[in-house]
Amino acid sequence: MLRFGDGTLSAAVNPDGAELSSLRDAAGREYLWQAGPAWPRHAPLLFPMVGRLAGDTLRHGGATYPLKQHGFARDRRFTLAAHGASGCRLTLRDDAETRAAYPFGFLLALDFAIADGALTMTATVHNPGAEPLPFGFGFHPAFAWPLPGAAGRADHALVFEQPEPAPIGRLPDDRFARAVEPSPVQGRTLPLGDAPFLPGAVVLEAPASRSLRYTAPGARTLRLAWQGLPQLGLWTRAGGDFLCIEPWHGYHSPPGWDGAFRDKPGLARLAPGASQAFTLVIRPE
């Protein structure tokens, strides 16, 4: 584990998957789900795909490649590029194994930094190749539910930066249904309980907000803010005391879509030699 902090907040990052595995305040309160039988991860990175392709198959240049849900970055060991008292940098480059599933050159760099009581995670994707680079990227952090200090799972809520009246999508059984039901957000507030997640993950395909507060009586609030990530997924699993708050660039293949990967809806596309950054900031308040 790579550990760092600033005296008010500390973090641990696993080079396997460049996965944030702990986020504690000065009192030792842990804000991340600590894995377990309900779900064995903490905060995986989704790259080069968010969600799932039809048949878990990527189509490019007349050939097919097996690319599983959420891609491979979460299961690859990253290279340590820098590690200091307040942060670290990890990188992942294409190799023969990645090209067998995703036939593109890439460099994915993750920068973690703690300053002024907040953790900033910045993912930068670079295209070293001679053709446009299509990809998806997402953060998938799982937070403790209940939050430390809260009496139980009841009375938790997400408070969005803006009202979110647009219909939501669903991911039931790994199938993506777009804009299938009215938003459960009441103005700016989504009361949390098991009911909103029983039909599957909640997907805000084009939320107005770029920040929210995860809050409960008796607990410190967590404020999340993101940049470059136009979708938002919310998910939990029965028997797990966690809530995943997931800013994405990309989503599951729409129903009936099975075309060339470069044409898939929701992807980012980088010109040769270009880079694109995605940021998530987490601050206990």
Confidence of residue 100 (pLDDT cuts 50, 70, 90): very high
**Residue 110, CB-side half-sphere exposure with 13 Å CA sphere:** 30
What gap in Å lies between CA 11 and CA 32, rounded to an integer?
Answer: 10
Q: Residue 117: pLDDT band by 50, 70, 90 thresholds? A: very high
Domain boundaries of the chain, sorted by first residue: 2-284
Confidence of residue 197 (pLDDT cuts 50, 70, 90): confident
pLDDT single digits (tens) 17-65: 999 999 999 999 999 999 999 999 999 999 999 999 999 999 999 999 9
Q: Is the pLDDT of residue 87 over 90?
A: yes
- Report whether pLDDT(195) > 90: no
Q: Residue 83 carries which DSSP code?
A: E
> What pLDDT score does 200 carry?
87
Query: For residue 44, which of 52, 31, 35 has the smallest C-alpha distance?
Result: 35
The mean pLDDT value of the chain amounts to: 95
SS3 186: strand
Mean pLDDT across 257-272? 96
Give the confidence band of 177 by pLDDT, cuts at 50, 70, 90. confident
In this predicted structure, what is the pLDDT of residue 179?
80
| Candidate CATH numbers 3.20.20.370, 3.50.50.60, 2.70.98.10, 3.40.228.10; the one for domain 2-284 | 2.70.98.10
What per-residue confidence (pLDDT) applies to 112? 98
